[in-house]
């Protein structure tokens, strides 16, 4: 039996060994939607990305159960302390994550002046929640929705540095402003099911949203042949919703 051997040039071997391996954050920045840029809607048609802010709260598990029963996926933009300590609802957050729903950031304490915070304070807001989510799901989210949809000041530059895709909305359900489920439904009907998929603004802390609006939306999506997906999936980034956490875990609020 005859073997043919060959030797690679030393320069090629050294060059290969010298090629740096990108960090998880750098690898993330090279794929998927850009960090630190405002995204308002899906990248293609035929889908609806249900997105809920301000939780977790007492309705989180009910919402997860409703979505799961319909085979629907959604995104939960969670906070650390807005409606009680996130660790008190850790089981519901884990249930959402384990069911394939997306867990994303809505900051630690939902400050009313989010858009005027310093870069240092914005970083603290995001990293405190990262620490909690490291404890609960073992992941760092790469998507966030800023409190009050504030994207001015230092927000975008800070989110770019931290590696967060910034999500706002293109349909406002108005549940935060006292609109009834029926009034919210009218907003979706008016927006229509055509064009690029919607990323709506909704809040899981209102019983009418969880118990009335969401079941209606599930049916509305079915009637209009829309897939109910996570925000990441509606942006063609189904595998990029998380990176490996770099912030130490925390167990306190």
- Residue pair 130/103 in contact (Cβ under 8 Å)? The answer is no
Q: How far is CA 94 from CA 70, 90, 219, 244, in A?
A: 19, 6, 26, 17
Pick the closest to residue 114 from 144, 146, 85 (CA basis): 146
Q: Which of 2, 53, 54, 121 is catalytic?
A: 53
| 86/55 Cα distance (integer angstroms) | 8
Q: Which of 101, 198, 203, 237 is catalytic?
A: 203
- Residue pair 215/63 in contact (Cβ under 8 Å)? The answer is no
Neighbours of 205 (CB within 10 A): 21
Pick the closest to residue 99 from 79, 76, 80 (CA basis): 76
Q: Mark whether 54 is an active-site residue.
A: no
Q: Mark whether 53 is an active-site residue.
A: yes
Neighbours of 78 (CB within 10 A): 31
| 196/180 Cα distance (integer angstroms) | 26
Catalytic annotation, residues: 53, 203
């Amino acid at each position: 039996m005859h073997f043919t051997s060959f030797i690679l040039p030393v320069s090629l071997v050294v060059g290969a060994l010298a090629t740096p391996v990108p960090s998880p954050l750098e690898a993330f920045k090279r794929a998927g939607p850009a960090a630190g840029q405002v995204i308002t809607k899906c990248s293609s048609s035929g889908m609806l990305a249900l997105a809920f802010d301000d939780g977790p709260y007492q309705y989180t598990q009910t919402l997860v159960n409703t979505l799961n029963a319909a085979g629907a996926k959604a995104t939960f933009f969670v906070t650390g302390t807005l409606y009680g300590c996130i660790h008190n609802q850790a089981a519901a957050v884990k249930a959402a994550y384990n069911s394939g729903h997306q867990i994303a950031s809505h900051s630690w304490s939902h400050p009313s002046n989010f858009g005027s915070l310093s870069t240092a304070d914005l970083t603290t807001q995001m990293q405190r929640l990262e620490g909690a989510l490291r404890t609960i799901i073992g992941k760092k989210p790469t998507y966030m929705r800023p409190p009050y949809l504030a994207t001015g000041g230092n927000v975008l530059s800070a989110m770019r540095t931290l590696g967060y895709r910034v999500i706002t909305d293109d349909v406002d359900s108005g549940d935060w402003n006292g609109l009834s489920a029926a009034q919210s439904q009218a907003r979706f009907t008016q927006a229509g099911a055509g064009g690029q998929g919607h990323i709506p603004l909704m809040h899981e802390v209102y019983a009418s949203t969880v118990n009335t609006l969401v079941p209606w939306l599930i049916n509305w999506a079915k009637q209009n042949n829309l897939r109910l997906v996570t925000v990441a999936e509606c942006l063609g980034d189904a595998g990029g919703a998380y990176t490996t956490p770099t912030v130490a875990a925390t167990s306190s609020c």
